[in-house]
């Protein structure tokens, strides 16, 4: 009887070890923080495995994985404080020093857009926004990234969830961007877009680079992109909006998506796309993020 129990225990142990080894072979860890998926796991029939998540339920930012974005101090966008007006794009009002623009409850992180009530003694900008990014702390190559978020509406609002290349390995060209979610003003839909040198500099419109998907404006929605070695598949609440394929022979201008990317989640205000904040009484607004999950 003891021998039979021992044999069963041995078999169970072997099965556990085998399943663990298979799980770990889904990806390799590069430079201690980048999860690079095995390229053989490349199609929809492969079962996805959850390899990382952040539920934002600790009441504070996990600084091992995230940094707050700042116009004046973030290395990738550093701008002198007296030159803030020259930052006309998404990062015009983003700050890491104001504690009102990144807050927490027991289940969520709140990335906020607020009126700045002290432009004399502190930050000179009339509005401030909050955002986080995983640059140099967490990146991945291939897999499905999902983000569950709820978005307030206001004229001039521009919340976004997007990914940029971690290393920029291709010189003198755009190294790619995946816009998993962008929402403007009071729209009841969100944009999902692929950018690269092919679309930005060469102005190529085929294959189609973006589409929109309907969202629940009163609640949470799940935004995702499934990243394969030969295509990007975007979805909102599990409903596909667009597939952006790798074009044979087009090279890295069209497909720079063979390198690790990091994640950005930020509340934005104003810019050429959403326009001005025309009703300041709509502020403050919240971009509430419940969780981020990566499957490979």
Marked catalytic residue, from 146, 166, 182, 270: 182
Q: Which residue has the tokens 């307030």?
A: 152
Q: How does pLDDT run across 110-146, given as a tens digit for each residue?
A: 999 999 999 998 899 999 999 999 999 999 999 999 9
Residue 38: the pLDDT is 78
Q: Are 64 and 52 in contact (CB under 8 A)?
A: no
Residue 17: the pLDDT is 35
Q: Has 177 been annotated as catalytic?
A: yes
Q: How does pLDDT run across 200-209, given as a tens digit for each residue?
A: 999 999 999 9
* 67 vs 44, higher pLDDT: 67
The arithmetic mean of pLDDT across residues 160-188, rounded, is 97
Marked catalytic residue, from 39, 44, 53, 177: 177
- What is the pTM for the complete model shown? 0.90
Q: Are 133 and 145 in contact (CB under 8 A)?
A: no
Q: Has 182 been annotated as catalytic?
A: yes
Residue 293 confidence (pLDDT) above 70: yes
Q: How does pLDDT run across 256-275, given as a tens digit for each residue?
A: 999 999 999 999 999 989 99
Domains annotated for the chain, with CATH where assigned, are: 32-295 (2.60.120.200)
Q: How does pLDDT run across 227-266, given as a tens digit for each residue?
A: 999 999 999 999 999 999 999 999 999 999 999 999 999 9
Q: How does pLDDT run across 47-104, given as a tens digit for each residue?
A: 889 999 999 999 999 999 999 999 999 998 899 999 999 888 899 999 999 999 999 9
**Which residues neighbour 86 within 8 Å (Cβ) at sequence distance 6 or greater?**
79
* Per-residue pLDDT band at 19 (split at 50, 70, 90): very low
Q: What is the distance between the alpha carbons of residues 49 and 268, in angstroms, rounded to a whole number?
A: 32
Residue 6 confidence (pLDDT) above 60: no
Q: Are 13 and 253 in contact (CB under 8 A)?
A: no
């Amino acid at each position: 009887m003891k021998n039979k129990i021992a044999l069963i225990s041995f078999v169970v142990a072997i099965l556990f070890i085998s399943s663990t080894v298979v799980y770990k072979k889904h990806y390799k860890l590069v430079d201690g923080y980048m999860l690079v998926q095995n390229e053989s796991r490349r199609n929809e029939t492969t079962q996805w495995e959850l390899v990382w998540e952040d539920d934002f339920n600790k009441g504070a930012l996990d600084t091992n994985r995230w940094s707050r974005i700042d116009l004046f101090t973030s290395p990738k966008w550093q701008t002198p404080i007296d030159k803030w007006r020259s930052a006309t794009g998404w990062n015009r009002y983003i700050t890491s020093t104001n504690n009102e623009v990144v807050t927490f409850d027991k289940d969520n992180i709140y990335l906020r857009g607020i009126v700045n009530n002290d432009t004399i003694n502190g930050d000179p900008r009339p509005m401030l926004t909050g955002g986080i990014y995983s640059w140099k702390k967490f990146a991945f190559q291939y897999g499905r990234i999902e983000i569950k978020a709820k978005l307030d509406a206001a004229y001039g609002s521009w919340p976004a969830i997007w990914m940029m290349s971690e290393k920029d390995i291709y010189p003198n060209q755009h190294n790619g961007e995946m816009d998993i979610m962008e929402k403007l003003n009071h729209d009841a839909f969100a944009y999902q877009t692929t950018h690269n040198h092919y679309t930005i500099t060469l102005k190529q419109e085929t294959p189609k680079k973006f589409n929109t998907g309907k969202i629940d404006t009163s609640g949470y929605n799940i935004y995702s992109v499934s990243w394969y070695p030969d295509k990007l598949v975007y979805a909102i609440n599990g409903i596909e909006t667009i597939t952006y394929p790798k074009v044979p022979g087009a090279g890295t201008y069209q497909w720079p998506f063979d390198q690790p990317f990091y994640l950005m989640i930020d509340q934005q205000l104003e810019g050429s796309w959403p326009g001005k904040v025309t009703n300041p009484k709509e502020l403050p607004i919240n971009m509430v993020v419940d969780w981020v999950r990566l499957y490979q």
